[in-house]
Amino acid sequence: MPSIQEHADLLIERMGNRPLQILIEIQRRFGHVPDDAIGQLSTRLHIPFSRIVGDVEFYALLSREPKGDYAFLMSDNITDWMQGSRVLFSRLSKNLGNHASLSNTSCTGMCDQGPALLVNGLAVPNLSASRIDAIADLVKRSIPVSSWPEEFFRVESNLKRQSWLFDDWQGPHLKGEDLLQALQDCALRGRGGAGYPTAKKWNACREAKGEGRYVVCNADEGEPGTFKDRALLQHRADRLFEGMALCADIVGAEHGILYVRGEYRYLEDHLKEAIARWSRPGFEIELHWGAGAYICGEESALLESIEGKRGIPRVRPPFPVTHGLFGMPTVVDNVETFCAVAAIASGGEKAFRSLGTEKSKGTKLLSISGDCVKPGVYEFPFGVSVEALLAECEAKDALAVQVGGAAGTCLDKTEFGRRIGFEDLPTSGSIMIFNASRDMSEAALNFARFFADESCGFCTPCRVGTSLLAEALESATRGGEAVSEIENLNIVLRASHCGLGLSASRAVMDMLKKFPEHFAAGRAALEGR
Amino acid sequence: MKTIHLDGHEIPFEDGQTVMDCALAADKPIAHLCHLPGYTPYGSCRLCTVKIDGRFSSACTQPAREGMQVESETEELKEMRLGILRMLFVEGNHYCPSCEKSGSCRLQHAAYNAGMLDPHYRPFYPKREMDASHPDILIDNDRCIFCALCVRASRDVDGKAVFDISGRGLATRLVVNSKSGLLVDTDISVEDKAVHVCPVGAILVKGRGFEVPIGMRLYD
Ligand SMILES: Cc1cc2nc3c(=O)[nH]c(=O)nc-3n(C[C@H](O)[C@H](O)[C@H](O)COP(=O)(O)O)c2cc1C
Ligand code: SF4
Ligand code: SF4
């Protein structure tokens, strides 16, 4: 068996200068990243030892300490809580021997089939008491994860409503200038949340000075309650690559990178095959994995991560279109955006323009979870009302709907007439439903803890303020006088460097305002946990 | 001459200058900690947050543009800055009376200027280890505010890479570039710029304790 150093050497030879990707492989092989491997990487790749330490300590799926033969991470989104994850957590913790470890991790994107956990980085959805007991038994009998029943790892796509984005368009193929014009005529806006006009972004990248160019697909999909990109990666990978290639052709890029969150590792073989099947001369697509960091969905942090660094959002300006990956002009777009481009390019243009609203053309994929009969991925034309969504997924007795994930907006019953779209409710697609039996203070606390866990730590207001917010909420739910404190934190957080800190108090403020009665009543639920 | 407006004053700027650069040049300073003229703007402390044409932004990273309307000394921004300073105090362990840097500490000075009378938030009392391994230099991690000035000085001025920021969120920490994690095993020397840029008392030269009597220090 090769030594740690030899193993690191082999990986460097096989994978080249991609430090984070090598670290992920080392973590998979050894269950942690030993200092000897860090030393070898540092020497061979000429990266300071301390910088690699910085990486390992930044990403949640990497660790310097061994975590046992079975490293369990329980998905800790509010939807997991609602499906009973906290009870299952203690059930599992009572039955684990000492060659296993168990802790929590942020939303793993399995909300429609939760609760879920990761074991050695692999997702196990649909947890129940019996599945947890079966897992504990496998651990007790020292059965390696690779020999566990396959069905434990089966992830469903739950595609409940497919239309334009999934249709097989057979039209005349648009590319280059014609496609750019079509995207402008369609007023296509980014599907990752911010809604920037796609044609404008691509044009700016094309016109920027640079020796090389990159096209990057953001498949980090870390917003709690989002899992629609997962479905596209599974079912429309070809369309995604087509969209990336069309972009590369327009901006003049030869390299594409698909950055996928580590929690979707189960898609590895599928994506590698799809890339191999698809590959074209003149444009190659490289697969990069994330390693557990919500912030890496922010486009400049994502570029840092691809460069092998900690995912700290960059100072802007300059923007990625002029100074992106390795300083080169770079387009970063969401999975759904590239798929939409490919559909527009292959005949879907006219239909696209007839769908949606004045300012939000086309359709939007929504990930619906929480209290409804049919959680899953739904494609709706923009402009659809929340009410209509609730009817379609058979949500009865809804009390609140969280649109846009933890960073989004919380709606009460009086607002269910509002519509999905850039002019009213912009969203990357996360819809979480709470019925009348739910305590919204639990949701507020869950989101506040999420931001405290996921703050990259770069800037003061967010690094410290998100923890103070979670703490203030704990006292608010116990009936304390924490509301003015939360209002103060809401002000200071507005000094944050990036969108994470800027949106960390939004949902909490909504919930405090719309469900004040929950914040004293939350006491019993919290103490009974 | 191109100008921006800062709290009603018209201030000239040259291309390439940030809002902070031209405010300092015009002797209208905006409070700051992680910024130091001559160093790559970083933007982590957020103390220099201003409102530019209605949007919050850090003055140290924002390029000046003709006609920009910049607000700095408003009640809203003062409340923000006070909050940021309090956060920095509660996050670390800052016992000013027994700190060697007291009187020449930029954090203490900024807090004084902002009229901060109490830490307001609950102190975190983090457990951080001191690194006293080096014969000449001491790292007191309790006081680090992660401004990365030492990181930038070592990299950009000294041509070394002695310091780095590691971890994330509240577990963010200063690390040094050696396998042991100790300063003595790095190539730092006491003449390095990195040893002398720390705005707080986190990096100190040993044996200099109380060389300048309290009461006669920079900000006394
Ligand atoms: C904290 C944070 C997390 C984000 N996460 C994602 C993500 O997971 N996926 C995504 O596509 N965009 C995410 N974004 C938005 C990206 O920064 C960027 O706007 C987007 O990838 C651009 O693609 P689009 O124009 O196609 O939407 C995030 C932004 C922030 C501030
Ligand atoms: S706002 Fe939060 S996530 Fe964004 S840079 Fe600051 S600390 Fe990092
Ligand atoms: S040691 Fe000093 S200079 Fe270095 S990051 Fe900490 S506070 Fe800044």
A356-402: per-residue pLDDT in tens? 999 999 999 999 999 999 999 999 999 999 999 999 999 999 999 99
pLDDT band at B135 (very low <50, low <70, confident <90, very high): very high
- Annotated domain spans of chain B: 2-73, 76-113, 130-205
Q: How many CB pairs under 8 A join A and B?
A: 129
Query: What is the CATH T-level fold of the domain A363-435, as seen in this structure?
Result: Ubiquitin-like (UB roll) (3.10.20)
Contacts of residue A491 in chain B, CB cutoff 8 Å?
A: 76, 79-80, 83
Residue A523: per-residue pLDDT: 46
Rounded CA separation A409/A223 (Å): 13
State how far the Cα of B166 lies from the Cα of A462, in Å rounded to an integer: 16
d(C-alpha B181, C-alpha A64), whole Å: 13
| Contact residues, chain B, for A492 at CB < 8 Å | 79-80, 83-84, 87
Token readout for A425 is: 């409710």
pLDDT at B215 > cutoff 70: no
**A447 three-class SS:** helix
How far off is chain B from A434, nearest CA to CA, in Å?
Answer: 29
Residue with CA nearest ligand 2 atom 4: A498
Question: Residues in chain A whose beta carbon is closer than 8 A to a beta carbon of chain B?
Answer: 35, 38-39, 48-51, 53-54, 57-58, 293, 310, 315, 317, 452-461, 463-468, 471, 488-489, 491-492, 494-497
ipTM: 0.95
**Best probe residue, ligand 2, of A451, A466, A494, A497 (max atoms within 8 Å of C-beta):** A497
Distance CA A1, CA A3 (A): 7
Long-range CB contact pairs, B80-83, < 8 A, 24+: B80/A461, B80/A491, B80/A492, B80/A494, B80/A495, B80/B49, B81/B31, B81/B47, B81/B49, B81/B114, B82/B114, B82/B115, B82/B116, B83/A461, B83/A465, B83/A488, B83/A489, B83/A491, B83/A492, B83/A495
DSSP sequence for B5-36: EETTEEEE--TT-BHHHHHHHTT-----SS--
What are the pLDDT digits (tens) for A470-497?
A: 999 988 776 666 788 999 999 999 999 9
State whether A456 and B84 contact (CB < 8 Å).
no
Cα separations (Å) of A39 from A14, B82, B115, B188?
18, 42, 47, 19
- Residue A98 confidence (pLDDT): 83
Q: Are the beta carbons of B29 and B95 closer than 8 angstroms?
A: no
Looking at the partner chain, which of A48, A317, A494 has a beta carbon nearest the beta carbon of B161? A48
Can you tell me the distance from the alpha carbon of A249 to that of A399, in angstroms, rounded to the nearest whole number?
48
- Triad A252, A256, A262: Cα angle to 5°: 160
Query: Token pair for residue B62?
Result: 């924002």
Please name which ligand lies nearest the alpha carbon of A227: 1
pLDDT at B210: 53
Residue A524 has pLDDT above 80, yes or no: no
Q: CA of A36 to nearest chain B CA: how many angstroms apart? A: 9
User: Average pLDDT for residues A323-338, to the nearest whole number?
Assistant: 98
Chain A positions touching B46 (Cβ under 8 A) are 459-461, 495-497
Averaged pLDDT score across all residues of chain A: 95
pLDDT single digits (tens) B42-80: 999 999 999 999 999 999 999 999 999 999 999 999 999
B2-73 — its CATH code? 3.10.20.740
Residues of chain A found within 8 Å of residue B172, distances taken between Cβ atoms: 457-458, 463
The pLDDT value given to residue A97: 82
Distances (CA, A) of A364 to A357, A417, A483, A509, B43: 12, 18, 36, 26, 35
CA-nearest residue of chain A to B90?
A: A464
| Percentage above 70 pLDDT, chain A | 97
- Residue B125 makes CB contacts below 8 A (sequence gap 6+) with B93
Q: Which helix (H) or strand (E) holds A260?
A: strand A255-260
Is the separation of the CB atoms in B127 and B178 below 8 Å? Answer: no
Q: Does B93 reach chain A within 8 Å, measured CB to CB?
A: no
What would the mean pLDDT of A254-262 be, rounded to a whole number? 97
Residue B40 has pLDDT above 90, yes or no: yes
Identify which has the larger pLDDT, A529 or B108: B108
Q: What is the pLDDT at residue A512?
A: 92
For residues B7-21, average pLDDT: 96
Question: Token pair of A295, please?
Answer: 């912030």
Determine the 3-state secondary structure of A431 from DSSP: strand
Q: How far is B80 from chain A (nearest CA, A)?
A: 5
A499 CB within 6 A, ligand 1: yes
Give the tokens for residue B208. Answer: 């200099």
Which residues fall within 8 angstroms of residue B190, CB to CB, at 6 or more apart?
A: B136, B137, B205
At A418-430, the pLDDT tens digits run 999 999 999 999 9
Pocket test for ligand 2, best of A106, A456, A460, A464 (most atoms within 8 A of CB): A456
Which residue in chain A has the smallest CA separation from B78?
A492
A409-412: strand order across its sheet: A159-161, A376-381, A363-370, A430-435, A398-403, A409-412
Domain A71-156 falls under CATH 3.40.50.1220: no
**Which residue intervals of chain A bear CATH 1.20.1440.230?**
440-527
Strand partners, B58: B49
* Ligand 3 binding pocket, CB closer than 6 Å: B 144-150, 174, 197-198, 200, 202-203
Residue A31 to residue A293: CA distance in whole angstroms: 18
| pLDDT confidence tier of residue A521, bands split at 50, 70 and 90 | very low
Tell me the CA–centroid distance for residue A190 and ligand 3, in Å: 39
Alpha carbon nearest to ligand 2 atom 1, residue: A501
Instruction: Name which of B63, B88, B178 is nearest A460 (Cβ-Cβ).
Output: B88
Contact status, residue A216 vs residue A331, Cβ threshold 8 Å: yes
Q: Shortest CA distance to A417 belongs to which of A432, A398, A444, A437?
A: A398
Q: Does B17 touch chain A (CB under 8 A)?
A: no
Q: Which residue has the tokens 């405290």?
A: A452
Q: Residue A30 to residues A266, B57, B177: CA-CA distances in angstroms?
A: 19, 43, 24
* Residue corresponding to tokens 């971890």: B167
A528: left (phi over 0), alpha (psi -120 to 50) or beta: alpha
Cα-to-centroid distance, B46 and ligand 2 (Å) = 11
Give Cβ neighbours of residue A244 (< 8 Å, ≥ 6 apart).
A215, A217, A256, A258, A283, A285, A338
> What residues have CB less than 8 Å from A11, skipping those under 6 apart?
A22, A25, A26
Q: A24: which 2 tokens? A: 């992920």
Closest ligand 1 atom to Cα of A223: 8
| Position A293 pLDDT exceeds 70 | yes
SS3 label, residue A512: helix
Question: In b/e form, how buried is each residue of B133-154, taking b as 16+ CB within 10 angstroms?
Answer: bbebbbbbbbbbbbbbbbbbbb
Measured CA to CA, the distance from residue B167 to residue A504 in angstroms comes to 20
Confidence label for B211 from pLDDT (cuts 50, 70 and 90): low
The answer to whether the Cβ–Cβ distance between A452 and B170 falls below 8 Å is yes
Q: Is the pLDDT score of A308 beyond 60?
A: yes
Share of chain A above pLDDT 90, in %: 89
How far apart are the CA of A226 and the centre of ligand 1, in A? 12
- Paired strand residues for A364: A380
Of the candidate CATH numbers 3.30.310.50, 1.10.10.60, 3.40.50.11540, 3.40.50.10740, the domain formed by A161-348 belongs to 3.40.50.11540
H runs (alpha helix) in chain B: 19-25, 75-91, 106-113, 149-152
Q: Chain B: nearest CA to A42, how far in angstroms?
A: 10
Query: Nearest Cβ partner of B169 from A317, A457, A468?
Result: A457
Q: Is the pTM of this model over 0.90?
A: yes
Q: Are A404 and A506 in contact (CB under 8 A)?
A: no
Q: What is the percentage of chain B residues whose pLDDT exceeds 90?
A: 91
In angstroms, the CA B196 to CA A116 distance is: 50
- Could you tell me which residue, A172 or B116, shows the higher pLDDT? B116
Cβ–ligand 1 contact at A78 (below 6 Å):
no
Instruction: Tell me which DSSP letter residue B41 carries.
Output: P
Identify the bridge partners of residue A363 per DSSP, sorted by sequence position: A381
CATH of domain B130-205: 3.30.70.20
How far away is chain B from the Cα of A458, in angstroms, using its nearest Cα? Answer: 6
Question: What are residue B9's phi and psi, to 5 degrees?
Answer: -90, 140
Residue A258 has pLDDT above 50, yes or no: yes
Range(s) within chain A of domains with CATH label 3.40.30.10: 71-156
Q: Is the pLDDT of residue A447 over 80?
A: yes
What is residue A506's predicted lDDT score, i.e. its pLDDT?
A: 97
Return the residue in A460, A474, A490, A494 with the most chain B beta carbons within 10 A, the one to mutate for interface testing: A460
User: Which pLDDT score is estimated for B214?
Assistant: 61
- Give the pLDDT score at A525: 43
Select from B106, B121, B168, B179 the residue whose CB has the most chain A CBs within 10 Å, as the one to mutate to test that interface.
Answer: B168
B153-182 confidence digits (pLDDT tens): 999 999 999 999 999 999 999 999 999 999
CA distance A178 to A184: 10
Residue B216: band (very low, low, confident or very high) from pLDDT cuts 50, 70, 90? low
Ligand 1 atom at minimum distance from A502 CA? 31
- Distance between CA atoms of residues A392 and A401, nearest Å: 14
CATH of A440-527, one of 1.20.1440.230, 1.10.150.170, 3.40.50.300, 1.10.10.10: 1.20.1440.230
Q: Which residues line ligand 2 (CB under 6 A)?
A: A 295, 313, 455-459, 462-463, 496-498, 500-501
The span from the CA of A87 to the CA of A84, in Å, is 6
